[in-house]
Structure 1
Amino acid sequence: MEIERINDNTVKFYLSYIDIEERGFTREEVWYNRDKSEELFWEMMDEINDETEFEVEGPLWIQVHAMNNGIEVTVTRAQASDNDESEPQFGMDDARKPFEPDPSMFANSEQLMSELNDEPVVWTSDMFVFEEFENLIPLSTSIPVYAVESSLYSFENKFYLYVIYDESKMDDDDKSDFCSLISEYGSLSQVTIHRLEEYGKVIMESDALATVKKYFGN
């Protein structure tokens, strides 16, 4: 899980589907099972509180964004003014109960389910980040050959491996296995390929893993 503290009242976290499965949940439960999604959400908030001291206080605004390989959640503590006599969106008698996006701002669960059923999320690519180039070397020598295209970029003193899957040869299980192997050396990243192409530097334009193995694997 990647956590970003935006300001005193807002925190954003990214959770890949691999992270979700490792915590004992499925992506279907996250989207379609309210109890399970709430359970996962509060587990994440406990972890975020431990790491960033972001405490749940008062009403919450929650925005969930579906991505190819996971979910991005933004949580904001709403600050009601002293003169605001309106009912808060979420009561705090039980801090574990309030978990519902504002219907005026975010799609409700029925609409989201319909959209996902009509236009299923297709898992076609992933972006991985490595703190050191040296982390790529043992990965390149140990990972089996998969039907992927890979390119390598450097950006803000980190290295990014962009992977495009061959949909005709790799199913979601193959992709999960591939991600699990890479996660031993790096992690999934929210940085987009468009940002890297604009601001990053191309290190290896194609066949990145094979090229690293060829020149550095001995």
Structure 2
Amino acid sequence: MEIERINEDTVKFFLSYVDIEERGFTREEVWNNREKSEELFWDMMDEINEQSEFAVEGPLWIQVHAKNDGIEVTVTRALANDGQMIESPFYDEDPSQLFQEQDDGTFEDIEDILKNGLNKENDWLENTFVFNDFEDVISITSRMHDYEAHTSLYAYESKYYLHVKYDVEEMDNKQKTNMFSVLSEFAKPDKITIHILQEYGKVIFESDVFSQIEKYF
């Protein structure tokens, strides 16, 4: 695997299909199996953290390029060390082309590699936050009504996971920063995927989490 540190908040890596197979994955799994592609991605991020001290903290911007001999992935932390939201470095491109054809390769349909990235059809950012107990979720309810976000809540392995999805163009940087500040008081960003929560977790609220908490609690 080739790793290039672009700047403090961005890293790029290239993984050949030979590398992928040596790590126990197949090319077909990477492009067509959501869980396998996510597993590979997080394995790579752990290795990158060890080699270049690029810690994954909070939401990420992800761009994947398919090439004949492998995949090239650029990862940017969406939340800087000072807590400010970083604009996507890929905004100049059509969001539907985040996974795009390269001159030396062809694009194959790929499942979302990561929970914390742009939705392929719209400019949506999705993140998951983990709370130690339900009382912590209740404690921020009154402060979350200022933000236009789609929310769902799950119980999984004795913790509570809040999935947040919002339109990056409808929410300015100040709102994004404020929302993350509120959530970070009682929760931590987590890399668990919404698909795992839906399959193995218990749904507490499928939508409008904070409105429903106010209604019932």
What TM-score, normalized to structure 1? 0.47
